[in-house]
Structure formats: C-alpha cells, structure tokens
Structure 1
C-alpha cells in the first residue's frame, strides 16, 4: 500500500510508545518526525524504536519542513490546544490524547478551528473500544430494559502512584473521571444537561487535593447519572472500568466492570397481585471487535479519514465529555448546580475557572 499519511509524533514520553508502535505497523503511514520540547527525549525515542526520521523541538517547523499531514498529539494536556491549533492551521489532521484541552474555551476553540479549516481532530478515548462496554451499550440501545431513568457508576480504587497525581488539586476528576463520563454518554446515548458535584478528601488520603467526588448529572434523555468515585479507597476495589447499574422501565442492567454485562427484566405473563414481580435474566451479547482499546480507537480514527466522516471520538462529540469534567469542577468550586449548555457557551473567564490537567 502506498504511503498516504505522513505522521508526526508530538510528545515523546512513555505514552507515545503505543502510538508509535501502532503507526509502524501500518503500511500507509510514514513516520516523518518526532517532536518534543526536550530534543533529547525525541532522540531517545528514535533510538529506542529504530527510527531515522527527523527530530524537532517545534511543531510548526516540523510540519513545514516535512510536509506532514497528520499529527499524533501525545504531549502533556497543557500543550494540547497549541499543538492542535498550530497543526490544523498548517493543514494537518490531528489525533490527540485525552483531554481535548484544559478549559472549555480551548475545547470550543479547537472545534471552531476544525470547522473553519475542514481538518479532523479526534481524541483517544480507548475505553470505548472495550467489547464489554459495547455489550452493555447494546443492552440499553436494544430496549432490553426499556427507557432508562437512572444510571450509576461506582469507581473505588486506591492506587499509590506517587509523583504529580499526589499533588494535584483534583486528581480523580482531572485525571481519571473523563473515562467514566465518556463511557456513560456512549452507553446511554445521551449528553449532559446539568451537574452538581461535591469533591472531598476523606481520612487516610495520601493525596494533597480532593481524591473523592460525587456527581449528579441530568442527561438529555431525562435520566439521571450518578457518579461516585474515590482514588484513595483501600479495600474491596471496583474495576478500573467502574461498576455500573442502569435502571429502566422494564428492568435493570448490571456490569461489574470485569465480566460480561447482564440484565434482569420483568418476566412475561400475568403477574397481577404480586407484591414483587418475577424477573428473567438476559445476558449481554458478545461484541466482536477486531482490535480493542488503543488499537481499536486508532483503527476508528484512520477509518474516519478514509470514509471522510467525523470519528466516533471527534472533538465535536468529545467536548461534551469534557464539559462533564469541567462543569463538575465548576460546581464543586461554586457549590451550585451548573447548567452544562450555558457552561459550554460561556467563556471560562466569566466562570473564573482554571484547571490544571497533568499527565
């Protein structure tokens, strides 16, 4: 297959390994440059992967000198907006690590520039490409439990990372919750309308900032999504994918984040007069994905370019997941419920909000 994509990797830290390995296995991709503000990091990565491509410490220079048409943005979140806008302005499509950007204003700016330039920008949300999550989504989409009214996700783990996360103001919401929030939108097929959030740091926490949070989201389908999470919960951990309960008109769907999802629905037949109805278990279907997680998401990103359509994790869609994170942070800061539509449209300076995402 002829080379179609001239790819630059921006950001040569540990996260870039998976992206580079994927690109090297595509016959339609040529790696034309590695970019890092610390040029020695790019050199180390080039040596590690046996690459002979050019090395730069500036994305604009790299694009202009190599004729690249696609940028993999694996930089720290604080750089995402600048990398994305510079790349699209110079004619490149962009695949970026999460988060889309640090503020709602920047997220909207990326979307606006994608519209203006016609360039694609999509985000790595690898957990969407988990067959078990797809199976849970299908249980809901197929109407197995009827119209959903409540969705809950519990996320309780006690990872001792050390390093920057221990010093973040909001380590759970800023660094991890985006995965669960994005999955919730995908599973139920709805977007956030409002959020009320309370962050706290419970006894025994080894984090400087708030490592626990409870969020209540109103969703566009009329349902309520409740997120309960902690990154300093010792004992009886949930899965990294969270533990889910979705209740609807006809029954409830369950996924523990480990095995396969299932539902219990009202059994057929006359149950008149019964105090509690009988229920029938429905197993979630087996979803066959050729490749999963990072590779599955990257496959979708390239397929979207081939088919000239927005990717599933296109920036226009992903900003609603980001609005859940940033709206929750605004709510915990102000102590009030946040209207997501207004929050998305209002410049962040009016909310007096600033975030500090880190990788």
Structure 2
C-alpha cells in the first residue's frame, strides 16, 4: 500500500501535534523535542490543565494546547498526529485525523479491539494516509540481533518467553479482567511475529489468579501459539511473582535445527551453535525514539514501515484469541477471531465509505497481508 509522503529535514521539520498528556504523552513530548527533524506544534488533551502542565514540564510553556487534537493541528499547521490517548479513544482520534489529511503515529494497542482496528485499516485505504503503530520494543537493537541469530538456526521448533514481575501499579490495571494478557503480553506477541516473520494460526491459553495476587483479574497466564511455520511459541507469565524478576522484555529462548539463541531481555543475546556465525548489527535506534524516526523516514520515502496498521493488527488478534481461549477453556483459531471481528466492524461502522471497504475484503487475513494499491 502506498501512502502520501511528506518532505522533512532538520531545516524543514515535520510539525506534529501530540494527543494525550499523561505519562506516555510526556515521554512522547521528550522524544519529539529531541528529534532533529520533528517540531512540536502543540499538545491536545481533554484535560487542558494536564496539557498545560505537560508542556511546562517539557520546557515549552506557551505552546498551543487544545482539547481537540485535529482542530489543534488545523490551527497550528501541523502535518501529522501522534496519538497517545487511552486505548478506548484510539479509534475516534485516529479516524478523525486520517480523514482530516493527517498521518498518524499511534501508541499500542492499535485500538481497543480487533474490530475497531479493522475499521482503522479500512480508513487508511480510503484516505491514503499512513497510520503506524508504535510497538516500541521492535526497535530494541537486542531484539533485532536476536532475529538475526534466529536466521542462523534453520527451521525453528520452539520459542519461549518467560515473564515474571510483581508491579504494584494501582489504578485501572489492578481492576482489569485480564491485566497481563491485555496490557503487557502484546509486546511479546508482537515480538515473536517480528522474530519469525510469520503469522499465528491458533492458541491455547490458561489464565488464573494466585490467591496472594493484588489484582482483581487474572495476573498469570500460559499461552501456546501455533505459527504458520509450524513453530510453537510458548508465553509463560505473571504480574504477581516477586523475587528473581525477569526483564520487562522477558527471558527468551529460540530453539532451532542448528542450535539455540538466548536473550535475557536486558543484555546482548547469545548464539549457541556448533559453528561460529557472524551476526551483523541490524538496528541503531530504539524505543519510541526509534519508532518516531521510522515514522518520519516512512513519510519521507513512502516505504511501508514495520508497524503499519495492516501489519500490526495480528498482534492484537493474538491477544484477543488468547483471552478467548482462556475464557472458553479450549484452543481458539486466529481466523475465527478475525472473522468475528470483521462482522462486528461492519455492524458497528457509522461511515458508509469505511463500511464499503470492509464489506469488499476477500478475507481479513488476505486484506491485512496484501494492502491494496490506490
């Protein structure tokens, strides 16, 4: 899929509005201010005091603020939007921006559900604007190196991620039905798609809550995914496991025909094979700074970036399928999740043009894998 390009450079930076002035919004403000080819045009938040406090903390007092991100972009001449609102607002804010002629870089998840995500996919096909989701861990140089190592292992039999931590967040996470799967596991699910370069087929997941847990919902989960390559991916995690905690990235093992690659999530991965291999450096930037760099570069070149919405939806589908499997007590097929989400998207869509695109997809999997040319 091609999209509208925008020239930018340090001499002519891309002007952006950041929507959302919470903790992640402030992190994005810092990233924008530090980027040499991006200029912060304004900050939008329903809470104008929060927006004012955020720009003051960033040393940009006097910068325009507003409660409507798209209107603020129009007033300031911004060329793109960074959507750091809560997941429930992602669909509305991103849709409005795309149809206003603004490319969008959005925080994960792409939307609050796969059905709403599919609506956003269709919106990009109509508008020709780029929508890229910032799965920031994709830009971790260590993960990129692990991917290069995986390429040396021949066919991959199993990939495992162990994730064990005990954070006391307070707030909404401690009241969610599936806090670990919905709020955290998507990072690992997206990373395994990146490592393998293939998509999920099905998942069997069990989730539960230990008696000592301070979460209302299930803080523990184990999920086994079958991937298109035949690889099995096993995610085993807990958000109430104190002591000997893993990295926030988890602890990874990639096991293939020719050997094994290990990554503790914080240090350089290691390759364990019978023969020595030279692994080139494949990434030189990381985190949300890396995502912002890739977004600007994509707008400049027209090259479809990793995280473009068509490519990103499957990571959210893995989450929904795992949650479904845990609820029904048997495996869930990804295509069944996509089919149900597609029907829900058509039923809920209030834009006739978006609904028309959704109705004319041959299949959801095909639509996501091969974005149309305009």
Q: TM-score, normalised by structure 2?
A: 0.84
Aligned-pair CA distance for 1:286: 6.0
Aligned-pair CA distance for 1:350: 6.4
Q: 2: CA distance between counterparts of 1:177 and 1:289?
A: 23
Q: Can you list the C-alpha shifts for 1:114-138, whole angstroms capped at 9, x where unaligned? A: 1111101111111111121111100
Aligned to 1:317: 311
Asked if the contact 2:159–2:234 (Cα under 8 Å) also holds between the matched residues in 1, the reply is yes
Distance 1:348 1:196, change over 3 A: farther
The alignment status of 1:18 with 2:64, answered yes or no, reads: no
Q: Classify the secondary structure of the residue corresponding to 1:15.
A: helix
Aligned to 1:113: 123
Aligned to 2:201: 193
Q: 1: CA distance between counterparts of 2:54 and 2:205?
A: 41
Aligned to 1:274: none
Aligned to 1:133: 143
The alignment status of 1:162 with 2:179, answered yes or no, reads: no
The alignment status of 1:332 with 2:326, answered yes or no, reads: yes
Aligned to 2:270: 262
After TM superposition, the structure 1 stretch with the greater mean CA deviation from structure 2, 41-50 or 223-232, is 41-50
Q: Classify the secondary structure of the residue corresponding to 2:142.
A: helix
Distance 1:258 1:7, change over 3 A: closer
Which of 31, 36, 51 is the aligned partner of 1:42?
A: 51
After TM superposition, the structure 1 stretch with the greater mean CA deviation from structure 2, 283-292 or 22-31, is 283-292
Aligned to 2:78: 68
Which of 12, 15, 31 is the aligned partner of 1:6?
A: 15
Asked if the contact 1:261–1:284 (Cα under 8 Å) also holds between the matched residues in 2, the reply is no
Q: Can you list the C-alpha shifts for 1:17-39, whole angstroms capped at 9, x where unaligned? A: 22212222345433222111111
Asked if the contact 2:19–2:43 (Cα under 8 Å) also holds between the matched residues in 1, the reply is yes
Which of 251, 264, 279 is the aligned partner of 2:259?
A: 251
Q: 2: CA distance between counterparts of 1:77 and 1:284?
A: 41
Aligned to 2:67: 57
Q: 2: CA distance between counterparts of 1:182 and 1:76?
A: 20
Q: 1: CA distance between counterparts of 2:249 and 2:76?
A: 40
Q: Can you list the C-alpha shifts for 1:252-282, whole angstroms capped at 9, x where unaligned? A: 22222233222333x4xxxxxxxxxxxx6x5
Aligned-pair CA distance for 1:283: 7.1
RMSD: 2.0
Q: TM-score, normalised by structure 1?
A: 0.88
Asked if the contact 1:145–1:263 (Cα under 8 Å) also holds between the matched residues in 2, the reply is no
Q: Classify the secondary structure of the residue corresponding to 1:115.
A: helix
Question: Unpaired runs of 5+ in structure 2?
Answer: 1-9, 346-374
Q: Can you list the C-alpha shifts for 1:129-149, whole angstroms capped at 9, x where unaligned? A: 1121111100112xx221001
Question: Unpaired runs of 5+ in structure 1?
Answer: 268-279, 352-359
Q: 1: CA distance between counterparts of 2:258 and 2:198?
A: 19
Could you list the structure 1 runs, at least 4 aligned residues long, displaced by more than 6 angstroms after superposition. 348-351
Aligned-pair CA distance for 1:284: 7.5
Q: 1: CA distance between counterparts of 2:70 and 2:32?
A: 21
Which structure has the larger Rg over C-alpha atoms? Answer: 1
Q: 1: CA distance between counterparts of 2:251 and 2:169?
A: 22
Which has the larger helix fraction?
2
Q: 1: CA distance between counterparts of 2:342 and 2:330?
A: 16
Asked if the contact 1:70–1:94 (Cα under 8 Å) also holds between the matched residues in 2, the reply is yes
Asked if the contact 1:171–1:211 (Cα under 8 Å) also holds between the matched residues in 2, the reply is yes
Q: 2: CA distance between counterparts of 1:126 and 1:283?
A: 28
Q: 2: CA distance between counterparts of 1:63 and 1:71?
A: 8
Q: Can you list the C-alpha shifts for 1:152-211, whole angstroms capped at 9, x where unaligned? A: 111111112222222211110111111111111111222111111111001311111100
Which of 341, 347, 350 is the aligned partner of 1:347?
A: 341
Q: Can you list the C-alpha shifts for 1:37-93, whole angstroms capped at 9, x where unaligned? A: 111111112222224332211234223333322001111111111111000010000
Aligned to 1:33: 42
Which of 285, 291, 297 is the aligned partner of 2:291?
A: 297
Aligned to 1:174: 182
Equivalent residues, number? 335
